[in-house]
Amino acid sequence: MSNDEENRGHHSESEGQSSDRKKTFGELVRERALLAAPTIVIVYPLVGWFLGWLTVKYWEWPYWVPILTMVAALVQAIRELVKLSKHIYNNNSN
């Protein structure tokens, strides 16, 4: 065997996963949930702030309303992440 063939063989063994192995459904769901988590944490409070800003601008509500709606949206985002993690855990343990 030449040095190039030995290096390729060692390189593929060190990667840890074979390219032949297909991911299970649980692994795919877990990966998609991990991608959705940052989006949930960012988008929910932004939407909450925007709705609060609209209430202040068009209905002349107090100026603390955007902060309150942003905090409420952040709490809802955390609840959604907890629900998502429980769902993933239950699917993977079965």
pLDDT (tens digit per residue) in 5-21 = 555 555 544 455 556 78
Q: How many angstroms separate the Cα of 92 from the Cα of each of 31, 59, 86, 87? A: 13, 47, 10, 9
Q: How far is CA 77 from CA 6, 43, 54, 64, in A?
A: 50, 9, 20, 20
CA torsion 13→19→21→25, rounded to 10°? 130
pLDDT digits 0-9 by tens, 66-80: 999 999 999 999 999
Whether 91 and 29 have beta carbons less than 8 Å apart is answered as yes
Is this structure's pTM higher than 0.85?
no
- Give start and end residues of each alpha helix (H) in 1-94: 3-14, 25-59, 65-93
Model confidence at 57, in pLDDT bands (50, 70, 90)?
very high
Q: Would you say residue 36 has pLDDT above 70?
A: yes
- Average pLDDT, integer, range 55-76: 94
* Domain definitions of the chain by residue range: 23-93
Half-sphere exposure of 36 (CA within 13 A, CB side): 15
Q: pLDDT value at position 7?
A: 54
